[in-house]
Structure 1
Amino acid sequence: MLSRRSMLGVTALGVAGTGVSVIGGLAGGVQSSSGTAMANNTPHEPATIPSNSESVIQNLKEQEKLPPIQRFGRMMHNYIDGQIREKMQERQSKLSQINTREAALSYIQDVSQKIRTAFGSFPERTPLNARITGTLNRDTYRVDKLLYESQPGFFVTANLYVPTATKGPFPAVVGECGHAVNGKAYPSYQSFAQGLARQGYIVLIFDPVSQGERIQYPADDAAKSRIGIGVLEHLHEGNQQFLINEFLGTTRAWDAIRALDYLQSREDVIPHQIGITGSSGGGTLTMWLCGLDSRWGMAAPSCAVTSFYRNFQNELPTDTEQCPPEALQFGLDHADFVAVMAPKPVVILAQEEDFFDVRGTIQAYEELRKIWRLLGHEDNLKLSIAPGGHDYSRVSREAMYAHFHQATGQSKASTEPQILLEKDADLFVTTQGQVAELKGATVFSMTAQKARLIAQARPRKVGEDWKKHLRACLQLPEKFSVPDYRILRSVSGRKYPRPGVTHYALQTEPGIETIVYRLAQQRLESRPPVLKEGCSLYVSDLSTDSELREEAWLRRRIESNPDQPFFACDLRGVGDSRPDTCGGTQTYLQPYGNDYFYAIHSLMLGRSIPCQRVFDLLSTIAWLKSLGHSSIELVALDRGTIPALLAACLSAEIASVQFVGLPDSYLAMANTEDYQWPLSSMIPDVLSKFDLPDAVEQIKSRGIRWMDVS
């Protein structure tokens, strides 16, 4: 089974790189057909094939290559840590005031409403078109191979374990799988499904999207993914969904809710005795589902319940579907999802050596026990901490059996019956083991279709209405104060285009600093002079320090006008403040790396990274204006282009722009299956509000000059 920790070693899907797209025409650019930046981090120069002697010289140059300056690697972590801690303290204050049954019920109602807001609306209930494609007959049960459509053409592959030694109706359980490549066939998941069936339960266990038989991005060999089974596909499809205001956790929860619908339609199922259980990622979905559907009769989340803050403190990345948008902004925590089940039977299952911190599990249990006690059913809530690491262990499974037996009266067994594991292929629902053969819908196809519809329906705004609208979308104030700043000590030997470089750290908001480089003929050790003239401001892609040396087009630009004041900046989480958390700076560009880590937590806090970076840039422009630079040439590369474009729409000081690697549009991102842009460049629900071409049109209408790279 793939752990989240192991994903830190996976190479990047690819984020911003050498794609070149300059409004006004850029010669020599490299660009994908979709207009998105291609994955590479090399300078923007045509490749050449050196001779043998040139190759030797090139190798020597590579050995002399300077590592980028990264002095503030924990800035992003400390900033977001403070925000989450504040939200959790507010939550604890609310919990401390729950001392009556009425207060407990009011709290449950409040968190239930917030959960539904975070998850958004569910799809329309459409016909399941459920059918059995085959059956395995065993000694005391059978396994029906079930195929159903949770959304039109969106196929779910499931195994339905049905007791045959006794007559029904039976209690039932929906089984949620964790991040196993083989989904429902993983040994621990087969074991709990078969164990329950042997004890008189009907069990419907299904493959999560992007696992088992439901690979969404099949390679030439349909059993393999060109993105990566499980975590990597979840990140790829889930990040893209944010552009249309959808959440992969909602998509996955809907698969389970439709499984519940199916079970309630069967005559051999006791409709009010349907439970849910799962481990790891399946434990997380079990937890979410406790708060999303009131029909569950019992629940047993395994290896999941802890706290958002513990996961963050421990620098533990989690998939897109495990990070509900705005959940932290609403003050929600793991325990709140389980609380909605109160006072029904719930057993929280944990493993002592799990990377999901058991200290958070114990805290969640204590918070929940108070609610169950006030509602008069404290015995319905249990906690089991089994020895060992991350898995749905036999000890945990037996704790689940016992709690479900207590809830249903179905059995008095205290140990797991003998389990005989099936081969993966014997459990296949589809002929060849992949839903791709059915030519149905995928997460991407549904995202792309909805993106086009949203874009077509979006109202267009112009002029001051556009600026007001954009400011509201980006959660920006109307005016920016001049930020305070520190004068940093110089770093020598960096081989910049000009000999005199001074570094300033602008405090754009408490805990956040934008690092600004001032390039001149002489270095300063003091505040910058006030000059009543224009200047250039460069917004970096990955590192101002590196790009000032390595981007030849940028060096030429600086050297061609030696007397013009030139500034360059690293916005938050970039370059000098590139995080060194989650395994180190080398994880930054990886799908599960620290850039993603802070981007997803920012969405949970209700303020996306692009919104934050536009704030930083507009604050920097206010600082430059205070120095007499009221006419600014704005230059940006790749990941710096989106905040630069949006800031240019809102700043009266921008006289010209030069963008290298600007994506064509957010619509193109949503319609490109193998898109390359990271979550830190995406704005939730952006397509219903504006798109990048709208910003381009607005800037052009103001007469701002567009400059080519020469």
Structure 2
Amino acid sequence: MKFVISILLPVCFSITLFGQDAMLCMGQYWTEDEANVMMKTFKSKWNDLSTWEKRADRIKQGIIEGMQLAKMPELSGNFNAIIRDKKEMDGYTVENIAIESFPGFYITGNIYRPTDQKDKNPAILCPHGHWENGRMREDMQIRCAVFARMGAIVFAYDMVGYGESKQVNHDIPIALLLQTWNSKRILEYLISRADVDSSLIGITGASGGGTQSFMLTAIDDRIKVSAPVVQVSAHFFGGCVCESGMPIHRSEGLQTNNVEIAALCAPRPLMLISDGADWTRNTPQIEYPYIKSIYALYQAEHKLEHVHFPTEQHDYGYSKRTAVYNFFGHHLKLKYGNIPYENKFLEDFVTLLPQEELLIFNGKNPIPQNLLQGNDAVMAYLGFNSE
């Protein structure tokens, strides 16, 4: 069944998206009152670790089947990484990078590394949300630089249709699949690096980047620590095709939401960050207690943290970043002492770079010739009907 829906994105513009079937749960699918009741219904579906894990397996399988992950090509390595323009900063370096997600489709981004890196280092994936300038925003550059100076190798990457990732439009019907697959490929690339400790891999992003964070964490246990920021909601399912444009929340005999998807992180360390001005305003009363009850099944309540900012808005601002610095610092064994501290973390050592210095492809270094260009070409290559 094909249909067309117009929705409102967090950045306040509309797109038209094409859903695969009537099982989609999109945007504010429930009211806050309905979501409160639904969370109690979900809780009635399990009562101990065994029954939760049975439900968790169904949710995970529903995600994998709903986004049609099996259609992606079998790849072993073959990243064909392009790394250029190393920039030496204060305690960290920045390089421009592209890796091949699948033949002819490139993930574009930046690699941040500590100048005093060890033989094996923790690594962090940093996706971004639906904000202008994407990975090149000031808050993205700052958090990546801080993580690097703390001792992590950090991969900041473009959403499809944003930044340099212009082979498809962001409203391509399989955006959710492409972004999850891109994140998976970045994870595998990082693990393949000789300087990365595969037992210490984290992921964090805000808004749509938060969705990417909890989605990859849910289906891939190689993510060891996760911090989705201002996105985990019981009533809001994501306002974009890249978050809810494929049927991952509902299937025959199963209804779930992003709270339970985020809970699939258990018992690995998870931090929720919420604020008072968006769909996460109820997290202290609704989302966090539900996830905490799941962590309790694993005797792992100490691995779950929640920070709520009732007077703040939808962003990945200073207060939210510094909460994650401490959380990742502890669970990824990073070096807190590498960051200046005077009653608070100081980020003024970070040099903000202009966009042109962060681009991997430009007039001097053009994009490779084998690229697939356009929604139809990419969907056809992967075996999807674009009609």
Shorter-normalised TM-score: what interval? 0.7 to 0.9
Name the counterpart of 2:102. Answer: 151
CA distance, structure 2, for counterparts of residue 198 and residue 88 of structure 1: 41
Task: Verify: 1:118 aligned to 2:40, yes or no.
Answer: no
The answer (yes or no) to whether the contact 1:179–1:281 under 8 Å persists in 2 is: yes
The answer (yes or no) to whether the contact 1:214–1:435 under 8 Å persists in 2 is: no
Distance 1:136 1:444, change over 3 A: farther
- Note the alpha carbon deviations across 1:64-89, whole angstroms, 9 max, x for none: xxxxxxxxxxxxx9xx769x95x985
The structure 2 residue matched to 1:336, chosen from 260, 265, 270, is: 260
CA distance, structure 2, for counterparts of residue 416 and residue 108 of structure 1: 40
- Note the alpha carbon deviations across 1:171-198, whole angstroms, 9 max, x for none: 1100011113322111111111111011
Opposite residue 301 of structure 2, the aligned amino acid is E
Name the counterpart of 2:288. Answer: 365
Name the counterpart of 1:650. Answer: none
- Bigger CA radius of gyration: 1
- Note the alpha carbon deviations across 1:239-279, whole angstroms, 9 max, x for none: xxxxxxxx321111111111000110112111010010011
Question: What is the Cα deviation at residue 436 of structure 1?
Answer: 6.0
Distance 1:92 1:188, change over 3 A: same
The structure 2 residue matched to 1:298, chosen from 202, 208, 225, is: 225
Opposite residue 241 of structure 2, the aligned amino acid is T
- Note the alpha carbon deviations across 1:621-667, whole angstroms, 9 max, x for none: xxxxxxxxxxxxxxxxxxxxxxxxxxxxxxxxxxxxxxxxxxxxxx6
Aligned residue runs from structure 1 range 242-641, under 5 A? 247-307=174-234, 310-311=235-236, 318-323=239-244, 324-325=246-247, 327-329=249-251, 330-353=254-277, 355-360=278-283, 362-386=285-309, 387-413=311-337, 415-418=345-348, 419-432=350-363, 438=369, 440-442=371-373, 443-449=375-381
Aligned residue runs from structure 1 range 664-679, under 5 A? 670=387
Question: What is the Cα deviation at residue 14 of structure 1?
Answer: 12
Aligned residue runs from structure 1 range 645-660, under 5 A? none
Aligned residue pair count: 355
Task: Verify: 1:192 aligned to 2:113, yes or no.
Answer: no
CA distance, structure 1, for counterparts of residue 381 and residue 42 of structure 2: 42
Question: What is the Cα deviation at residue 104 of structure 1?
Answer: 3.1
CA distance, structure 1, for counterparts of residue 221 and residue 98 of structure 2: 25
The answer (yes or no) to whether the contact 1:163–1:197 under 8 Å persists in 2 is: yes
Provide the secondary structure at the position in 2 that maps to 1:299: strand
The answer (yes or no) to whether the contact 1:91–1:332 under 8 Å persists in 2 is: no
Name the counterpart of 2:89. Answer: 138
The answer (yes or no) to whether the contact 1:335–1:368 under 8 Å persists in 2 is: yes
Task: Verify: 1:203 aligned to 2:151, yes or no.
Answer: no
The answer (yes or no) to whether the contact 1:146–1:429 under 8 Å persists in 2 is: yes
CA distance, structure 1, for counterparts of residue 288 and residue 361 of structure 2: 41
Name the counterpart of 1:161. Answer: 112
Aligned residue runs from structure 1 range 676-687, under 5 A? none
- Note the alpha carbon deviations across 1:269-301, whole angstroms, 9 max, x for none: 110100100111111111211212111010000
- Note the alpha carbon deviations across 1:290-348, whole angstroms, 9 max, x for none: 212111010000121112xx337xxxx71111113151343111111112110111101
Name the counterpart of 2:3. Answer: none
CA distance, structure 2, for counterparts of residue 378 and residue 403 of structure 1: 14
Aligned Cα root-mean-square deviation (Å): 3.0
Question: What is the Cα deviation at residue 377 of structure 1?
Answer: 1.0
Distance 1:416 1:295, change over 3 A: farther
Identity %: 24
Name the counterpart of 2:341. Answer: none
CA distance, structure 1, for counterparts of residue 202 and residue 124 of structure 2: 5
CA distance, structure 2, for counterparts of residue 344 and residue 433 of structure 1: 44
Distance 1:348 1:430, change over 3 A: same
The answer (yes or no) to whether the contact 1:303–1:351 under 8 Å persists in 2 is: yes
The answer (yes or no) to whether the contact 1:145–1:429 under 8 Å persists in 2 is: yes
